[in-house]
Amino acid sequence: MASDQVLPVKGMSDLASPEIELWQHLESTARGVFSRYDLGEVRTPVLEREALFVRSLGDTTDVVQKEMFTLDYQGKLRLTLRPEGTAGAIRYISSCGQEGLSKRIYYIGPMFRAERPQAGRRRQFHQTGAELLGDPNALADAECIAMQVHLLEEWGLKRCRVQINTRGTVQEREAVAQGLRDALNPSFDDLCEDCQRRFEQNVLRVLDCKNPSCQTIVAALPNVVTFMSDDSQAYFKEVQHMLELLDVPYTVNPRLVRGLDYYEHTVWEISHDALGAQDALSGGGRYSIPVEKKAVNGVGFAIGMERIQTALAGEGILPEQFAGKPDVFLVSLGDAALKENMRTAQQWRRDGLACALHTTARSMKAQMRAADRSGAAWVVIRGDNELSEGACQLKNLSAGEQSAVSIDAVPGLIR
Ligand code: HAM
């Protein structure tokens, strides 16, 4: 068994070949899709002041109460590894003045949550997220959902399910909470311990409790939209109408609340049947986040990239399909041939060919085995005695055919 010194922390992992090539493909596809929707990339720091997350996500949320990696820096600063990307993105936006309030941005990067690691739940995971800044607007919410669904399709996912709901406005949050408390009150004693605590602090979270007895109670509750204003109900109807217009399939789930406090109006989650209990591929919604004395409004989402990899595997799309392969592997028989192969490879690489070779002398058999493992389509074999004639053997590994050719003809032949 490997020792602790060579293993990463539990719930965190190295990303390397073959997964990394899949991730590079997913990231470049995402950049392409986001640019078609007029979004620009932002890279915010991984470490931020703890207060930023407490203020933005809400101090009664699970993330803030239980899941933040926070360090005390010299007794002066409390710093937190970002558990999500929206808080930092909005901090950046609010540094851009008036112009920031209409920006359209995306981010790709690691997030950290101090959770008990299990399938689908990691301590370091990666999100691809987007934020469209601007005042509440049902059309923008629908555009954001449609963009996300488009991205999932471009990645090759076909079995995603979009569920949407509304949380109403920030102003009517208390009325909604009170309506729910009144409806839950007769069953208070039958709620689980967590929900009894949530009853006062964050009653909406009772709606998505996984405890079977809470679920029975929740199933008999009136739909939360009935506690909302006519305007909020009309806003939500408009989002649904736009999704139909944009050809985005969805279902309304009145029990969907999302775990972060900054949401208002539209919220959504996208799930996939290849994921187990943690079946959310991504989540998003419209939000209002306090910054100094103002509130910054926007709509956005974040997709969990580890879960995307699992969902892709469920649809038969595997990292190995994206493995990088050299165009040609150069086999050297003799010291002079090795040096000459290095010179040739350098020239070919400058011309855009991917070349692999060993820089130490090895047997022909060992080099051919390495060529096979590399996945190269072609092998060039050169011995010291062929150098003066400018000749080599060119072998096509899949066809097994080999012929003597001029070394200068190789790039043209393999292209
Ligand atoms: P979230 O639902 O907390 O939302 O996270 C989004 C996605 O990140 C989840 O659906 C899941 O795929 C992935 N994820 C979350 N926690 C973990 C974990 N411990 N291990 C693996 N994957 C995980 C947000 O983070 C919001 N900032 C989304 C947003 C952006 N809302 C508006 N703008």
Q: Give, using CA atoms, the residue closest to atom 25 of ligand 1.
A: 84
Among residues 124, 162, 357, 193, which one has the least CA distance to residue 279?
162
CB–CB of 341/356 below 8 Å? no
Distance (Å) from CA 73 to ligand 1 centroid = 27
Residue type, 151: L
Distance (Å) from CA 225 to ligand 1 centroid = 24
DSSP per-residue letters across 176-219: HHHHHHHHHGGGGGGS-HHHHHHHHH-GGGGGG---HHHHHHHH
**What's 10's DSSP letter?**
T
Question: Quick count: other Cβ atoms within 10 Å of Cβ 174?
Answer: 9
Among residues 195, 206, 152, 90, which one has the least CA distance to residue 315?
152
The one-digit pLDDT tens for each residue of the chain (415 residues) are 677 789 999 999 999 999 999 999 999 999 999 999 999 999 999 999 999 999 999 998 889 999 999 999 999 999 999 999 999 999 999 999 999 999 999 999 999 999 999 999 999 999 999 999 999 999 999 999 999 999 999 999 999 999 999 999 999 999 999 999 999 999 999 999 999 999 998 899 899 898 999 999 999 999 999 999 999 999 999 999 999 999 999 999 999 989 888 999 999 999 999 998 778 999 999 999 999 888 999 999 999 999 999 999 999 999 999 998 999 999 999 999 999 999 999 999 999 999 999 999 999 999 999 999 999 999 999 999 999 999 999 999 999 999 999 999 999 999 8
**CB-ligand 1 contact for 261 (6 Å cutoff):** no
Residue type, 149: V
Query: Distances from the Cα of 403 to the Cαs of 267, 395, 406, 410, 415, in angstroms?
Result: 63, 7, 10, 11, 16
Question: Quick count: other Cβ atoms within 10 Å of Cβ 268?
Answer: 28
Q: Which of 34, 56, 127, 258 to mutate to test the pocket of ligand 1 (most atoms within 8 A of CB)?
A: 127
pTM here? 0.94
Listed in sequence order, the residues at least 6 apart from 350 whose beta carbon sits closer than 8 Å to its beta carbon are none
**CB-ligand 1 contact for 282 (6 Å cutoff):** yes
Distance (Å) from CA 155 to ligand 1 centroid = 18
Among residues 326, 325, 328, which one has the least CA distance to residue 378?
328
Q: Give, using CA atoms, the residue closest to atom 4 of ligand 1.
A: 283
Direct distance between the N- and C-terminal alpha carbons of the chain, in angstroms, rounded to an integer:
46
Distance (Å) from CA 303 to ligand 1 centroid = 6
